[in-house]
Structure 1
Amino acid sequence: MAAALGVSGPARADDDASVDTNRGCRPNPDITAGMRPTFRDEFGGRSLNEAKWSTVMDFPGRAGGHYHNTSYGSYALDENVVLKRGQLNLIANDEPVTGTDPVGEFDYSEGFISSHDKFFQRYGYWEICAKFPAGKGLWPAFWLVPQDRSWPPEIDVAEWFGSIEGMHSGLATGNWPDVRWDSHWSYGDTPTTGWHTYSVLWEPDRLVFFTDGSPTYEVTGEVVPDKEMYVILNSGTWAPDHRGGPPDETTIFPNAFEVDYVRVYQ
């Protein structure tokens, strides 16, 4: 069941589904037919809707409330979460940060939002309309993790590695450190040159990933999670040397992971 849906109560500007940004993304009615909307944000307001989103990390493996782990080069700053012209902009920047949670020095900053404790559900259809930034070392993503603070599982709906122009979708399962990955990769700069929908249909024993309404990958069987999960969107930077390595002098900063909407159905 869905919880803390964030779709009722007093009207807010950022709940206005009539905002027309003309970005060309539309839900696929063949997928959502017979479903009911349980969560949405069209990002039409002037600031992040705190009834729906938090900017603090709360999942296993993080080093603090604003830093994931050593795979990342970026520290999450609230100022890097910007709403403008009916879209969410999660900014990545190369101005060094002195962090407090955790304490440390970080070469890059990112924008991070999470619906933990505010919206979570088991199964359903989860979709964003987004444009990804181009550049070496950039690592923005749309992913789902469990509300109960366990890990794995993790559902990566759209995870972009700018250094290799690779889009990853898939599922992590198992037990740390013996984690199993069921993954799909596609390559090319298409995610950075226009707006596209990225989504997952999550059913008992079945995950189907989509780009622009077309299925790209399927995972079936007992590995498919059956626990409530929530949304994370972030614009991190990659730190290790593999997968193309971290940003360099060719990477343009600041840049943004741009999101037109988030919509979830049950």
Structure 2
Amino acid sequence: MSRRRRRAAGTIATLALIASCTSCTIATDSPAENPCAPESSPGGVSLPRGDLQGWKQIFSDDFDDCDLGSDWGTYSGQPGGNPNSTWDASMVQVDDGLLNLNSQRTDSGWITGGVSNYPVTQQYGRWEIRMRADNSDDISYHMLLWPQNEKWPPEIDFAESVSGTRDEMSAFLHWVDDKGTNDKKGVSTGGDFSEWHTVGVEWGPGIVRYLLDGKVWAEAHSETMVPDVPMWLGLQAEAGACERREDWGMTPCSDFSEQRPDNAAVQVDWVTVYAADFDALEKMQKSGYYDPSPDAIQFTD
């Protein structure tokens, strides 16, 4: 399946609110300490606390504060290769324990929300997000890792969808092949992604594993396809999904569809990021833990 690039006009340097992260702390506010925190997790699953085997938790955010905070930056401008959408900081809202990436149809076109976790940049790691998306033929979502040096590719897209009924989610890899040509590969899985799910990715030397509710559903084992440069997390809502479906030869959108509201949201309950414990991961690899999974879709170049 072919796919057009998504990148902010100019560079991601247009992001607002980006700040250097001298100490990426893990929030521990309780509702009694924080008046903006909800009584329970909106996504039905609490934010994970603590390390995992092979992974050290270095950052988390359950969006229980009264604003976005300095560990995030808002997108602005037009996504590269997508004239149908404009990112605007007003479309990013933190409310009642949720990060809302809103979308609104205006007289001049769609405006949508997107954020960067640029201060938490690393080479290799594990990222998990608790999220859902309103049904919309027009709005797609994209959860991805982007290179710190702004030289594309690579790109790791671990959760995205142009499905108006949110019954399908895709994952992509972008890389430069041995001949110096930009290449890409994508796979998809089914589910109801208008409901809450935990999506994520594990990335290490020569391996990317895509996660859905804690299980590996797709993976790539390749020195060529898998990036080795520091990357950061981006969470994006974009308009133009109908145009993408047409470009990709998928079932076109209908003017009479019930999935064409003027407003839609992609909601995130929490984000957590882990750094690699390479000694532990090496032992896990030698034990066969990271051998290709028979239940996962295998990326091939």
Q: Distance in 2 between matches of 1:247 and 1:126?
A: 35
Q: Distance in 2 between matches of 1:46 and 1:156?
A: 29
Superimposed CA distance per residue, residues 83-136 of structure 1 (whole angstroms, 9 cap, x where no aligned partner): 111010000111134xxxxxxxxx1010011123x2201111101000022121
Distance 1:75 1:172, change over 3 A: same
Partner residue in 2 for 1:263:
272
Partner residue in 2 for 1:253:
262
Amino acid at match of 1:172: H
Offset at 1:11? Answer: 8.3
Q: Distance in 2 between matches of 1:233 and 1:263?
A: 13
Runs (4+) of structure 1 exceeding 4 A deviation are 9-19, 26-29, 243-249
Contact 2:27–2:61 (8 Å) recurs in 1: no
1:54 correspondence with 2:73: yes
Q: Distance in 2 between matches of 1:18 and 1:204?
A: 39
Amino acid at match of 2:227: P
Offset at 1:23? Answer: 2.2
1:4 aligned counterpart, secondary structure: coil
Partner residue in 2 for 1:221:
222
Q: Distance in 1 between matches of 2:27 and 2:128?
A: 24
Superimposed CA distance per residue, residues 233-258 of structure 1 (whole angstroms, 9 cap, x where no aligned partner): 11101244334557856311211000
Contact 2:47–2:62 (8 Å) recurs in 1: no
Kindly tell me the number of residue pairs found equivalent between the two proteins: 243
Superimposed CA distance per residue, residues 19-58 of structure 1 (whole angstroms, 9 cap, x where no aligned partner): 63152335789x9224221122111122211x211113xx
Partner residue in 1 for 2:63:
43
Q: Distance in 2 between matches of 1:33 and 1:180?
A: 33
Partner residue in 2 for 1:152:
153
1:183 correspondence with 2:186: yes
Relative to the length of structure 1, the TM-score reads 0.80
Distance 1:172 1:119, change over 3 A: same
Which of 88, 102, 120 pairs up with 1:77?
Answer: 88
What root-mean-square deviation, in Å, do the aligned CA atoms of Structure 1 and Structure 2 show?
3.2
Structure 1 segment 194-233 matched on structure 2, within 5 A: 194-222=195-223, 223-233=225-235
The answer for unaligned runs of 5 or more in structure 1 is 57-64, 98-106
Partner residue in 1 for 2:170:
168
Partner residue in 2 for 1:89:
100
Identity of aligned residues (%): 24
1:47 aligned counterpart, secondary structure: coil
Offset at 1:157? Answer: 1.0
Q: Distance in 2 between matches of 1:128 and 1:82?
A: 17
Contact 1:237–1:246 (8 Å) recurs in 2: no
Largest Rg, 1 or 2: 2
Contact 1:138–1:246 (8 Å) recurs in 2: no
Distance 1:9 1:198, change over 3 A: closer
Superimposed CA distance per residue, residues 173-231 of structure 1 (whole angstroms, 9 cap, x where no aligned partner): 1179932223221235x101x11000111111011101001110010121211111001
